[in-house]
Amino acid sequence: MKRLIAFTLAAASAFHAWAQAPQPPEIAARNYLLLDVTSNQVLAEREADQPQDPASLTKLMTAYIVFGALRDKKLTLDQQLSVSQRAWDERKGDPSLMFIDTTMRPKVDELLRGMIIQSGNDASVALAEGVAGTVEQFVAMMNRQAQAWGLKNTEFKNVTGMTEPGHKSSARDLSVIAGHLVRDFPQYYGYYSQREYTFNKIRQHNRNLLLGRDPSVDGMKTGYTDAAGYCLVTSAVREFPNGKRRLLSVVLGTASREARASESQKLLNWGYSAFDAVRLFDKGQAISTVPVWKGAAPDAKLGALDAVFVAVPRGEGSKLQSRIERTDPLVAPLTQGQRVGTLKVMTAAGTPVAEVPLVVQQEVPLAGILGRAWDAIRLWIK
């Protein structure tokens, strides 16, 4: 059964009403979402689940699959890849290009820069074929990953983002993909902060205008088609007294390059100024110590896998409450990292703010025969 253990993070002010959530500024975009990556909370959104043409934001997932291949040693950054006729054919229609041709053997590192900084469709195709053999097989990998993350409004038909029937994603789904890039592949995230790249004596600038305007912005990706309008996923990290805080904005369907930049900047600035990031617990900190039955140790320390942050309207952090829901009785053996409960964080009025899995911090093996027998009797009496 579950046992509820309530405790207040700031008992003196626990009965104050929660302030009304801050209202976001007017954003001139068809769809948008602002995510606090540090606390994994959505701070603002509009029609974030509506499927849209994602344009070159598609390349966020293309990059994720390539990074996965690098992680799994299926590719190396220095590995040279051939350029197929299909990759060269991306020149038709004058889309975004890295300007590779079939006589070249660019390195994976060069192709990643061409895809991420220059938004090269030709680079995207070359990388897809290098990883999966064919574009179609690579697209299947993209869709399997989307399904694994539960992205219900995303389906990929190509690796570039060119408009195609059925090729779709949403602001929320794109924020999930971008968030995974930030968290899962920090070693490759630096590609997104580079403001220009020269390949084959052709110099191109990153189309993310905020990289040159806001020093806290360190990525991520632009997109444009006639159907999608001007789109931008932006990630920024700023330093605060209690640590670094990362926000990620998604704006879809703006009217111009300047609009996608200015509306993203507006969202980011509002998120940083309207909300505080409250550190509740540090990584490795015991949140609760609970009794264990039939164990070699009498109790177990429970904690979170990482530091616990929550985003709250500015000045409202002192009014939070928490409650632990956990399995009771807790019976050995328990393995380190085993989930046995949930930390629920709420406003003083009871509105949910966050739910954090609680895990066992140290292994608790079975007790000896006598210890197990004694606890069995105690449990039966209980």
Q: How far apart are CA 382 and CA 377, in angstroms?
A: 9
Contact 221, 60 (CB under 8 A): yes
Contact 149, 174 (CB under 8 A): no
As a whole number of Å, the CA-based R_g of the chain is: 24
Q: How far apart are CA 86 and CA 63, in angstroms?
A: 19
Q: How far apart are CA 150 and CA 165, in angstroms?
A: 21
Q: What angle do CA 81, 56, 92 make, to 5 degrees?
A: 65
Query: How many angstroms separate the Cα of 308 from the Cα of each of 8, 255, 282, 284?
Result: 16, 38, 6, 10
Q: How far apart are CA 364 and CA 291, in angstroms?
A: 11
Instruction: Tell me the catalytic residues.
Output: 56, 59, 119
In 3D, which of 19, 21, 26 has the Cα closest to residue 46?
26
In 3D, which of 225, 191, 189 has the Cα closest to residue 111?
191
Contact 131, 61 (CB under 8 A): no
Q: Which two tokens stand for residue 68?
A: 């996965």
Q: Which two tokens stand for residue 195?
A: 């403001």
Burial degree of 241 (CB within 10 A; 0-12, 13-18, 19+) = exposed
